[in-house]
Amino acid sequence: MGYTPNIRIKGMSQLRYNFIWDKEIRHFAYEPKDQKEVDDIFRTQGRLYKSMYFSVYLDEKVEEPAPKPAAKSKKKTKSQPVAEAVTSE
């Protein structure tokens, strides 16, 4: 059938990002590896490419990982009293 359409964007940090056409969402998409890439891509919009703007696509199927439980402190602390929930009737 040929090739997959793509757009190559150079970020403010001179890194290159390859946005590939996603048939499902019908837009060019790039999945960043870390927060540094996200920051670089969004700093680029409107500066290096005056007519290109980026948006975020949040997939509803992806679930956030459960937070790790905090390590227990060996130091004893006094517990604070917890206020009761206020209900209006």
Cβ of 44: how many Cβ atoms within 10 Å?
19
d(CA 72, CA 78): 14
pTM (2 d.p.) = 0.55
The encoded tokens of residue 83 equal: 């206020």
pLDDT band of residue 72 (cuts 50, 70, 90) is low
What mean pLDDT is predicted for residues 71-82? 65
d(CA 59, CA 44): 23
The tens digit of pLDDT for each residue in 10-69 reads 888 888 998 889 888 888 888 888 889 888 888 888 777 777 777 777 666 656 677 777
pLDDT band of residue 1 (cuts 50, 70, 90) is low
